[in-house]
Structure 1
Amino acid sequence: MTSGTRDKMVAGAAELLSRRGMHGTSLREVVRHTDTPRGSISYHFPGGKAQLIEEAVRLAQQEISAILESLLREYGAVAGVRAAYTMRGKSLQESRFEEGCPVLVVAIERYTDDAKEAPDAATQQQLLEAADTAFGDWQNIVAAALVREGVDAARAQRLGTLVLSSMEGAVALCRAALNLQALEDVGDEVALMMQAAINEARA
């Protein structure tokens, strides 16, 4: 069983989390979705479903961090964030409004294993910490972009929190309405607030 199989399973778990949530992402569904051998679960993930989900969160963190960093470096803080909102809207539309954020799923849903048993507190905390680390990374990337444009570090951090939480909230509204209006509106308003902070810092 190659590392390619392992990577495929982690990516598949992240996709299932984004579409079906934690409870709909069973080990059996991951195997079926990724067309991988059943035995690959115990071979690659001796910690079972909890380990697979934690690694799926880390994968999502890495992939989104790379995209955010690239957009913000290329376009600057305001245009980069606006591009991120547009990109998120495109992926949401392509998924027929089914695709949420796998990290958000782990943050808001209580983990259960495939036997529907509640985890011990340590397992739950470990998954929450993985989600918190991912969110923190994204917030810090936005904040760093604002600092590069002169915004005070404390305010930049608060705006990073606003950018992230506003996007996730808007995605929820879009999934309910089956259109992108909320994401477009929120993206516009967030961009205006970021630009105002930059203008104030430069004044």
Structure 2
Amino acid sequence: MSAGPRDRLIDSTIDLVREQGVHGTGLATLLERSRASRNSLYQHFPAGKSELVRAATMVAGERMNAVLERITAEGTARQWLDHLLNWWRKYLETTSFTAGCPVVGSALAESEPQIQAAAAQVFEEWTALLAKALTRDGIPEDRARSLAGFLLSALEGAIVQARAMKSTRPLEDIRDQLTALLPG
């Protein structure tokens, strides 16, 4: 069964924000890529593009939550860091470095406070999920929270650098540095 217009709009928005950011995601391109009509957009997202991008940010966050939960479910922090970095390396290479994290795109939408708030919420969820995994690996709770935030900041920064440099070297750099901070 094919996805309906709402799901196609969300998926297309995630893809376009990954590639072009929120402000580079034009409505005409979004409708064309999603194969949805303007009526469908306003039927599912009455407030328009801002509401759609906010919803897409939350969906992208939920999808990455599932990836993070799966990766951190077993093994040591070093092992799941390796899995996470390998996942991003494959993604960046598969897209020829043209697409990054859609949540970062949303975080940079300065003129869209509701979209930025959604990105902040997603980052908080990811940080909490990583902190929980670090705590299971024996890191005290207060340090786990700080280390999880640092890990997430390093990873997102490395993704941005990797796209600009067309190289996975930034991911390797954070692997080298974070491995020294992680147990296991």
Scaled to the shorter chain, the TM-score interval is: over 0.9
Are 1:150 and 2:138 matched, yes or no? Answer: yes
Question: How far off is 1:167 after superposition?
Answer: 0.7
SS of equivalent to 1:36: coil
Q: Which residue of 2 aligns with 1:26?
A: 26
Letter in 2 for 1:82: D
Q: Which residue of 1 aligns with 2:51?
A: 51
Question: Where does structure 2 lack aligned partners over 5 or more consecutive residues?
Answer: none
Give the distance between the partners of 1:10 and 1:22, measured in 2 at CA.
13
Give the distance between the partners of 2:105 and 2:84, measured in 1 at CA.
20
Question: How far off is 1:100 after superposition?
Answer: 1.5
- Count residues in correspondence: 183
Listed as ranges, the matches of 1:92-171 within 5 Å are 92-111=92-111, 124-171=112-159
Question: How far off is 1:136 after superposition?
Answer: 0.6
SS of equivalent to 1:46: coil
Larger Rg: 1 or 2?
A: 1
Question: How far off is 1:177 after superposition?
Answer: 1.6
SS of equivalent to 1:194: coil
Q: For the aligned residues, what is the CA RMSD? A: 1.6
Q: Which residue of 1 aligns with 2:63?
A: 63
Contact 2:5 2:35 in 1 (8 A): no
Question: How far off is 1:3 after superposition?
Answer: 7.2
Give the distance between the partners of 1:3 and 1:185, measured in 2 at CA.
39
SS of equivalent to 2:180: helix
Deviates more, 1:186-195 or 1:164-173: 186-195
TM-score by length of 2: 0.93
Structure 1 counterpart of 2:172, from 160, 184, 188: 184
Contact 1:26 1:49 in 2 (8 A): no
Deviates more, 1:73-82 or 1:160-169: 73-82
Give the distance between the partners of 2:93 and 2:3, measured in 1 at CA.
32
TM-score by length of 1: 0.85
Give the distance between the partners of 2:179 and 2:70, measured in 1 at CA.
18
Are 1:172 and 2:160 matched, yes or no? Answer: yes
Contact 1:106 1:131 in 2 (8 A): yes
SS of equivalent to 2:167: coil
Letter in 1 for 2:135: V
Letter in 1 for 2:41: I
Are 1:80 and 2:80 matched, yes or no? Answer: yes
Q: Which residue of 1 aligns with 2:4?
A: 4
